[in-house]
Amino acid sequence: MGDRHKTGSLLFVPRLSEVIAALDALWPPASAEDWDAVGTVCGDPDQEVSRVLFAVDPVREIVDEAVNLGADLLVTHHPLYLRGTTTVAASTFKGRVVHGLIRNGIALHVAHTNADRADPGVSDALAGALDLRVVRPLVPDPGDPEGRRGLGRVCELDHPLTVREFAARAAERLPATAQGIRVAGDPEALVRTVAVSGGSGDSLFADVRAAGVDAFLTADLRHHPASEFMADRGPSPLALLDAAHWATEWPWCELAAAQLDEISDRHGWDLRVHVSKTVTDPWTTHSPSPGAPN
């Protein structure tokens, strides 16, 4: 195989159907949640794919980036349409995305909760970005005898850090966003074990409590669930860390791109794989309150 790659003469350009089959093997669509909408949104199975772009959000800036890059396939974590639609008119935000993609011959494929549950999945990538050692899934998939697939991850730190130090590490290691990291709990408490979940994680609070960890890092935490969680945690010093949704899922793009690169090498595909660095977090600036604790 190595010689083929050196000369490049025996590499071949795969078809979309072949690339999608490889992606579906990494993130089986059947493992997605019932409410989810994963898989190919647009694209011709017979079209050739020589350039792939990975991103979190299927939004217009990302479509523009895919066009400028000459990509034939855009793979995003978030679905474009989660529910049915009766129009893809370009006068709607989502319809414009569809038009931009089809006009430029770019297929769109989504791996959402199937990528969350996979091994490795979205929360493994998040744990990796934070230099955490993954111990097990926070909510193991009952269908996985090896106990490696599932939602969220329970992790260990190599050396204990205070909550404040761990938040600073997360702020430094995750891609920069206006939000940064918000913390609930004692900033001086020690963190040895952490649960992480890319994206909105407040539905996992009961599992976090049961896991007996020192901190939970996720995104989109709201006032009432967070406030009740802190009040209900009892004597435990369990802290909450809230990062920007986009920032917690972006590390998966790099992991997924590396996985596809490895598959491409194995198959002898002439495929270039890119990761978008465009920040698509909707929040663009943050003004700390004067005199607020930091």
Contact residues: Zn ion, CB under 5 A: 199, 249
Angle (deg, nearest 10), helices 245-267 and 16-26: 120
272: nearest Cα among 63, 107, 49, 115: 49
Residue 206 vs residues 32, 42, 134, 212, 236: alpha-carbon distances, Å: 21, 38, 19, 10, 14
Shortest distance (Å) from residue 123 CB to Zn ion: 11
Nearer to Zn ion, 34 or 46 (CB): 34
What is the nearest approach in angstroms of Zn ion to the Cβ of residue 65? 19
Residue 172: strand, helix, or coil: helix
Q: How far is the CB of 199 from Zn ion (least distance, A)?
A: 3
Closer residue to Zn ion in complex, CB, 40/123: 123
CB 257 within 8 A of CB 54: yes
Query: Taking Cα atoms as reference points, which of 100, 147, 103, 155 lies closest to residue 125?
Result: 155
In terms of C-beta density within 10 A (0-12 exposed, 13-18 middle, 19 or more buried), how is residue 124 classed? buried
**Nearer Cβ to Zn ion, position 264 or 276?**
276
Per the annotation, binding residues are 77-78, 116, 245, 249
Nearer of residues 128 and 199 to Zn ion, judged by Cβ: 199
Annotated binding site for a divalent metal cation: 77-78, 116, 245, 249
Task: State the nearest-atom distance from the C-beta of 56 to Zn ion, in Å.
Answer: 7
